[in-house]
Amino acid sequence: MVFSSLPFLFRFLPILLILYFLPTGFKMFRPWLIAWKNSILLIGSLIFYAWGEPVYIVLMLFSTLVDYSHGMLVNHFKNSSSANGRKKAQLAVLSSVLINLFLLGFFKYSDFLIETINRITGLSLFSPNLPLPIGISFYTFQTMSYTIDVYRGDAKVQKNLIAFGTYVTLFPQLIAGPIVQYKTIADQLTDRKENWDSFSYGIHRFLIGLGKKVLLANTIGLLWDSVRAIPQAELTTLSAWIGIFAFGFQIYFDFSGYSDMAIGLGRMFGFHFLENFNYPYISKSITEFWRRWHISLGTWFREYVYIPLGGNRKGLPLQIRNIIIVWLLTGIWHGADWNFLFWGAYFALLLILEKGFLLRFLSRIPSFFQHCYAVCAIAVGWVIFSFEDMEKGFYYLSAMFGFSDAGFLNRESLYFLTNYGVLFFLLLFGSTPFFARFLPKLLNRIPSGIGMLLEVTAYVLIFLLCTAYLVDATYNPFLYFRF
């Protein structure tokens, strides 16, 4: 879909930027200027989404109108002098949440529920097989957060429909996140300032993300596809570990690459989105991993589910209940299938064990072994996540832990290891803060002019390589179709 049509983005973005910045010189008309920019972004975002999903623009506009009107209702009732104003405001929030969850459930989970009922009961209920609107899990969560924040007083009601529509449809992060809470950019919707430093940083961040996605994630993804296609009887233990590490790197560089591109594009238009990844693979526990991975999703569930349920304030038994609820929801949010539910349950179990005793145990052993535990636990999680056919996933796990008919290694395993060894080395260091810390120090040691030339050359090279890859390659998966 959208990022599998990156060439369209390259044609679309310059036109949008020209229209967006065209009246920038007329700063005396500041209110009119921001209205122009929001209108351009709103129209441009709808065109961008329509490039792959023209029918579902209606759904997005409906969601926008629902939450805009509900936000107005919440604000009106909350500030009214009537005795039951607060209750009416709560009902307006509930109405907004139910409508959003119904849309998400109908389009994302109806087929799964019907198929499950048919399998259990033996019935033959009709399954509509609706195509999933891309990004629906992201923008429904965003719009729900708006009405909740208005009710809580964490954000002011947005009375400008164009500004609110811009927030909902904002194309840089619409398709693959990060999930942008309204309160984090509310002021930026009506008063943001663009400058060359911010714009150049946006270009830098976008190109880094593009390189992550196209040059790293796509390349290592080919290895994962090769390993996954190996017949069960021929899958060795070494190949299984190589394959799941390949998938782990693919999904990290793919998703963090999208997040970097979104943050970079946002900065070009004056928006400051919060970070979504913080080197999760350097974690020493699962608790730490989920503080570093998909930060915006974890923040959303913490603020709108975990804490309202009571969080950790009402004793360990209720905290365990809250963790289970949050992680079952997190799992099913990722996809409408049983493996995602088990994936959420798996991490819920690990987090409960860590809170109960495991973190105390880990703190007493060397850091290296803490890290090994985290990496192995994450790898098992990726197997559950990646195999919708759980029988195949179970066999893959068996092979990883030595129960393989093909033995520990074979010629194919060694081929994978030698052919992709250099790439694994780059991915390993690229998933740590090594380059972020090393490169600035290196550039500071050489004359500024030469450093700038090297930096610009590197970005041009990334852009050219990515463009060549996208033009020539047939393999450019969008892993987040299901969201």
pLDDT in tens, 223-260: 999 999 999 889 999 999 999 999 999 999 999 999 99
Determine the average pLDDT of the residues in 3-30.
71
Q: Is residue 343 part of a domain?
A: yes
pLDDT band at 443 (very low <50, low <70, confident <90, very high): confident
Residues 209 and 327 in one domain: yes
Which residues have a Cβ under 8 Å from the Cβ of 180 and sit 6 or more positions away? 142, 167, 170, 173, 273, 274, 296
Q: Is residue 41 part of a domain?
A: yes
Residues 242 and 108 in one domain: no
The pLDDT, as a whole number, for residue 22 is: 82
Q: Is residue 218 part of a domain?
A: yes
pLDDT band at 6 (very low <50, low <70, confident <90, very high): low
Determine the average pLDDT of the residues in 354-374.
94
Residues 266 and 188 in one domain: no
Q: Which amino acid is at 215?
A: L
Buried-exposed string 75-99: b where 16+ CB fall within 10 A, e elsewhere: bebbeeeeeeeeebbeebbebbbeb
Q: What is the mean pLDDT of the chain?
A: 88
Which residues have a Cβ under 8 Å from the Cβ of 275 and sit 6 or more positions away? 178, 259, 263, 295
The pLDDT, as a whole number, for residue 132 is: 78
Q: Is residue 377 part of a domain?
A: yes
Which residues have a Cβ under 8 Å from the Cβ of 354 and sit 6 or more positions away? 285, 286, 287, 362
Residues 261 and 408 in one domain: yes
* Phi, psi (degrees; rounded to nearest 5) at 215: -85, -35
The pLDDT, as a whole number, for residue 342 is: 96
pLDDT at 1 over 60: no
Residues 241 and 187 in one domain: no
Q: Is residue 136 part of a domain?
A: yes
Residues 402 and 352 in one domain: yes
pLDDT band at 343 (very low <50, low <70, confident <90, very high): very high
Among 132, 166, 192, give the residue marking a domain's end: 192
Does residue 111 contact residue 60 with C-beta atoms inside 8 Å?
no
pLDDT band at 476 (very low <50, low <70, confident <90, very high): low
pLDDT band at 474 (very low <50, low <70, confident <90, very high): low
Going by the DSSP 8-state scheme, the letter that residue 212 receives in this structure is: I
pLDDT band at 177 (very low <50, low <70, confident <90, very high): low
Q: Which two tokens stand for residue 452?
A: 């700038």
* 153/155 Cα distance (integer angstroms): 5
Question: What Rg do the C-alpha atoms of the chain give, in angstroms?
Answer: 24
Residues 336 and 439 in one domain: yes
The pLDDT, as a whole number, for residue 208 is: 94
Q: Is residue 324 part of a domain?
A: yes
Residues 224 and 96 in one domain: no
Residues 207 and 347 in one domain: yes
Most confident of 112-116, 262-266, 287-291: 287-291
pLDDT at 10 over 80: no
Among 192, 221, 242, give the residue marking a domain's end: 192
pLDDT at 5 over 90: no
Number of structural domains in the chain: 2
pLDDT band at 8 (very low <50, low <70, confident <90, very high): low
Q: Is residue 483 part of a domain?
A: no
% of the chain exceeding 70 in pLDDT: 92
Among 160, 192, 224, give the residue marking a domain's end: 192
The domain in which residue 124 lies consists of 3-192
Residues 214 and 140 in one domain: no
User: Catalytic: 70?
Assistant: no
Active-site residue, selected from the candidate residues 76, 294, 334, 371: 334
Q: Is residue 72 part of a domain?
A: yes
pLDDT at 60 over 90: no
